[in-house]
């Protein structure tokens, strides 16, 4: 397999994987292209390679920057902005986990916490509050576990993983 074919396959595969992470396919494809690129790329280069519009590139690159997965670079003598992505899988996974925790778990915890403040004291209301409390407890535990993962180093994580397997 030639390098160009391997890169194309990687971009295709990473695009599909990103969908399961909660990132749209175009955003994942741009991320993959930047991971696979030795040097930072301009929006024009991304457009040309992936055959997508400037607006699509700009919107998805901004989202990747917001997720902390892509960095913006200015190259001396160039007017264009260039973009790069980190290549360390550990750091990518930690950043995705942190963002998903922030975007998905924190709003659930806040909403469930507020919903428990109902003033009804009927048996049905108490049952509902109990269900919400259990959901909040579970969601907080998942959030705390993700937070430990985000703050951990590789050695800690793999030791914990291996202790669960044995």
70: Cβ contacts below 8 Å, ≥ 6 apart: 30, 31, 34, 61, 64, 83, 84, 85
Is 8 a residue whose pLDDT tops 80? yes
**Residue appearing with tokens 């930690």:** 94
Residues in the chain: 166
Angstrom distance (rounded) from CA 32 to CA 19: 13
Residues 144, 158 within the same domain: yes
Q: Which of 85, 103, 129 is the last residue of a domain?
A: 85
Residues 108 and 76 in one domain: no
Decide which of 2 and 157 is more confident.
Answer: 2
- pLDDT at site 12: 92
Do 75 and 125 share a structural domain? no
CA–CA separation, 130 and 116 (whole Å): 8
- The pLDDT score that the predictor gives to residue 76 is 87
Q: What domain range includes position 68? A: 3-85
Give pLDDT tens digits for 52-86: 999 999 999 999 999 999 999 998 888 899 999 99
Number of domains the chain is built from: 2
For the stretch 133-163, pLDDT in tens is 999 999 999 999 888 888 887 777 667 667 7
CA distances from 123 to 44, 130, 135, 137 (A): 62, 10, 18, 21
Asked if 40 and 75 count as a contact pair (C-beta separation under 8 A), the reply is yes
Among candidate residues 85, 118, 151, the one where a domain is terminated: 85
Last-in-domain residue among 36, 61, 85: 85
Together in a domain, 98 and 33: no
Facing residues of 70 across strands? 85
- 109 vs 47: CA distance, rounded Å: 39
90-122 residue pLDDT tens: 888 889 889 989 998 999 999 999 998 888 889
pLDDT number for residue 166: 67
């Amino acid at each position: 397999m030639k390098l160009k074919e391997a890169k194309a396959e990687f971009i295709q595969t990473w695009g599909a994987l990103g969908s399961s992470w909660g990132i749209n396919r175009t955003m994942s494809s741009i991320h993959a292209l930047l991971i696979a690129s030795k040097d930072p790329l301009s929006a024009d280069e991304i457009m040309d390679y992936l055959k997508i519009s400037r607006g699509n590139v700009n919107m998805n690159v901004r989202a990747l920057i917001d997720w902390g997965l892509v960095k913006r670079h200015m190259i001396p003598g160039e007017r264009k902005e260039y973009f790069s992505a980190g290549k360390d899988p550990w750091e990518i996974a930690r950043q995705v986990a942190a963002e998903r925790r922030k975007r998905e778990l924190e709003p659930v915890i806040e909403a469930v916490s507020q919903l428990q403040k109902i003033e009804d004291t009927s048996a049905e209301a108490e049952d509902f509050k109990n269900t919400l409390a259990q959901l909040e407890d579970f969601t907080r535990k998942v959030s705390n576990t993700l937070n430990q993962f985000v703050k951990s180093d590789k050695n800690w994580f793999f030791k914990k993983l291996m202790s669960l397997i044995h």
